[in-house]
Structure 1
Amino acid sequence: MTSDQSGQDRPVLAPQTFRRALDKSHEAKAKVEVVANELTSANDAVKAKIAKGVTSLPVHEALADSEGVEVKVQDVAGDLHEVTDTLSQGIEDLKGVESALKRSRKALIESEAALALSQRGEHKAKFDGMHDPRTGLPNRTLFDDRLAQAISLAERHGWTLAVMFLDLDRFKTINDTHGHAAGDRVLEEIARRLNGHCRDEDTVCRNGGDEFLYLLMNPQGRENIERVASMVLANLGAPIDMDDLQLNITPSIGIALYPEHGGTVEQLIDRADIAMYQAKRAASGFAIFDDASRG
């Protein structure tokens, strides 16, 4: 439906209406050709009579010819007027349809833009809810979820897992001596190094404060776990250049293994935390959980 100038709806012409108009136009064309032929014939007849010396024609013949042609011309004119009206209405309807299509396209573009903006906002909100705002690392909620999934996979495939609990030694001294801004930059650098070190299938998270968690998927034995822990210690222990300062950070790492030390998220993290304190007391850099060594 389209609206005319009065605001009232009128139906949009269907394709068959245009076909009828075209057919009518063809009929009108045929009639025009007939009239033209008749006029030509009448003109030729007049010329022939004049050529024979006839200088006057009977009035009734002239009138009859004139009236017959006039009727046909009017008939053709009526057909052409009908065709013109139909096509004019169709053109106006087409203009209305095109205008409506333009408005629809514009509305569609605006809707798509609003949807994309909403999706970006939803994605950002979801990301923010699962990541630490300071370091950009996964937060504890996301880590727990990934560890739970890892436990399910490990149980199904007979894998081992290692959970490393990292704590930065004497981090409070950095905040107290150089300010919290310096402490934040240290955390960001530690996060960058940890994130660059871990494999795609592993997960590093900030647990809060100066604590981090590191999940190793199927690390293939204690020897390899100890090798990874030593590499992390060396990586994080390298000096951090900060303006005119050069800070040295030493972490302590506690390690718990699945399934040896626990079969749940809580058990593995708790025992990795205990092992971290064992490493601090022994000043050994890292320690694998040993229940006999609890103190």
Structure 2
Amino acid sequence: MTSDHGSSRTSTVDSSPLLVKALEKSLEVKDKVEKCANELSTVNETIKKEMAAGITLHQAEKALAQSESVEDRVHECAGELNEVNNVLAQEIDDRNKLNRELIETLQELSTTQNVLSDSQNVLAIAHEVVEEAKQRTLRDFATGIPNRELFNDRLDQAIALARRCDWILAVMFIDLDGFKQINDTHGHAIGDRVLQVVAQRLYEQVRSEDTVCRYGGDEFLYLLVNPRSIANIQRVAHNVFDRISQALFIDDLTLTVAPSIGVAVYPGDASTGQELVANADAAMYRAKEKKAGCIFFASIP
């Protein structure tokens, strides 16, 4: 009996204090009931033996009184056991209520996590939309290449870098001869297709550190970062002229445009981005007048 009691108490170490107390009380009542049962059994056996031997009335009354006393203690234990059962029932109800509250809390936390996850997804999508919108504001709508704003920003950065590293820079100003006639004859939709093909051909020539942009109308700018020599600038300008001059095949049309290119070099021709573009523009107009293809600003008398 002792070992059973010890193991029962050990198993309830992690329970609540009230539950532990109730279980201990239950064990005490169990002990009392067992003792009373043993005692009652002994009394009954004694009465049987004495009755068989022929007991007196006084002895019988005494034995019955002893038996009734044991029964009273049994009833008392029953009352205590009922109290213990009530405590245990209340504890079970409390624990069930706590479990329900815990489950509800976990469900709420799960819902909150889903909401947070959804919010994070929304924020990520919003960030992507903002970034995409920002990129669109820096790109030309018709051709998809950088616009004037983005070009000017990169030009200023390139000049600052060239100043620190003692590099040269070049800006080519490109105008499409014959584009107006194509636009007037075939419409703006075909004109936009021509601009897209020209933009693609320029992009084929550009290095990762360089930038091309649509400046406006049929005008494009090409920034060469650290081309190292005038000869390299001339070679790139020649390649750009030849590539743009090739025939364009759009639907069932075969079209041609010829570029006029003006080139200005930093720091010899200008010290700022604005001056560099303006001088390249002036050189382009001289090339258009002379139908020379490409002219450097430094060669203008």
> What TM-score comes out, normalization by structure 2 length?
0.83
Residue aligned with 2:209, SS: coil
Equivalent pair of 1:21/1:83 in contact (CA under 8 Å) = no
Paired position in structure 1 for 2:157: 149
Candidates 182, 199, 218, aligned match of 1:174:
182
Candidates 174, 193, 196, aligned match of 2:201:
193
Candidates 62, 77, 93, aligned match of 1:85:
93
Question: Is the aligned partner of 1:33 residue 2:41?
Answer: no
CA distance in 1, matches of 2:164, 2:123: 40
Candidates 220, 223, 231, aligned match of 1:223:
231
Q: For residues 57 and 183 of structure 1, do their structure 2 counterparts lie closer, same or farther at Cα, with a shift above 3 Å needed?
A: farther
Question: Is the aligned partner of 1:47 residue 2:41?
Answer: yes
Q: CA deviation at 1:57?
A: 4.6
Residue aligned with 2:16, SS: helix
CA distance in 2, matches of 1:188, 1:57: 118
CA distance in 2, matches of 1:243, 1:166: 25
Equivalent pair of 1:254/1:277 in contact (CA under 8 Å) = yes
CA distance in 2, matches of 1:193, 1:44: 109
Q: For residues 207 and 189 of structure 1, do their structure 2 counterparts lie closer, same or farther at Cα, with a shift above 3 Å needed?
A: same
Paired position in structure 2 for 1:283: 291
CA distance in 2, matches of 1:290, 1:196: 27
Q: CA deviation at 1:20?
A: 8.8
Candidates 161, 167, 173, aligned match of 1:165:
173
What is the RMSD computed on CA atoms of the aligned residues?
2.2
Candidates 267, 282, 294, aligned match of 2:275:
267
Paired position in structure 2 for 1:24: 18
Amino acid at match of 1:208: G
Q: CA deviation at 1:159?
A: 0.7
Q: For residues 61 and 221 of structure 1, do their structure 2 counterparts lie closer, same or farther at Cα, with a shift above 3 Å needed?
A: same
Amino acid at match of 1:143: F
Paired position in structure 1 for 2:7: none
Paired position in structure 2 for 1:138: 146
Once the two structures are overlaid, the 10-residue window that deviates more, 71-80 or 185-194, is 71-80
CA distance in 1, matches of 2:294, 2:36: 120
Question: Is the aligned partner of 1:244 residue 2:238?
Answer: no
Amino acid at match of 1:78: N
Q: Which protein has the bigger helix share?
A: 2
Q: CA deviation at 1:184?
A: 0.6
Amino acid at match of 2:146: P
Once the two structures are overlaid, the 10-residue window that deviates more, 186-195 or 81-90, is 81-90
CA distance in 2, matches of 1:63, 1:193: 111
Percent identity between matched residues is: 38
Once the two structures are overlaid, the 10-residue window that deviates more, 273-282 or 60-69, is 60-69
CA distance in 2, matches of 1:37, 1:21: 22
Structure 2 gaps of 5+ residues are 1-12, 52-62
Candidates 57, 60, 63, aligned match of 2:68:
60
Equivalent pair of 1:162/1:255 in contact (CA under 8 Å) = yes
Q: For residues 188 and 57 of structure 1, do their structure 2 counterparts lie closer, same or farther at Cα, with a shift above 3 Å needed?
A: farther
Candidates 195, 210, 216, aligned match of 1:208:
216
Once the two structures are overlaid, the 10-residue window that deviates more, 283-292 or 187-196, is 283-292
Q: For residues 47 and 262 of structure 1, do their structure 2 counterparts lie closer, same or farther at Cα, with a shift above 3 Å needed?
A: same
Residue aligned with 1:267, SS: helix
Question: Is the aligned partner of 1:75 residue 2:69?
Answer: no
Q: For residues 211 and 204 of structure 1, do their structure 2 counterparts lie closer, same or farther at Cα, with a shift above 3 Å needed?
A: same
Amino acid at match of 1:145: D
Q: CA deviation at 1:70?
A: 2.2
Once the two structures are overlaid, the 10-residue window that deviates more, 67-76 or 143-152, is 67-76
CA distance in 2, matches of 1:292, 1:235: 25
Equivalent pair of 2:40/2:71 in contact (CA under 8 Å) = no
Question: Is the aligned partner of 1:96 residue 2:90?
Answer: no
Residue aligned with 1:261, SS: coil
Amino acid at match of 1:233: F
Equivalent pair of 2:151/2:211 in contact (CA under 8 Å) = yes
Question: Is the aligned partner of 1:105 residue 2:113?
Answer: yes
CA distance in 2, matches of 1:212, 1:171: 13
Q: CA deviation at 1:121?
A: 2.4
Q: CA deviation at 1:221?
A: 0.5
Residue aligned with 1:290, SS: helix
Paired position in structure 1 for 2:56: none
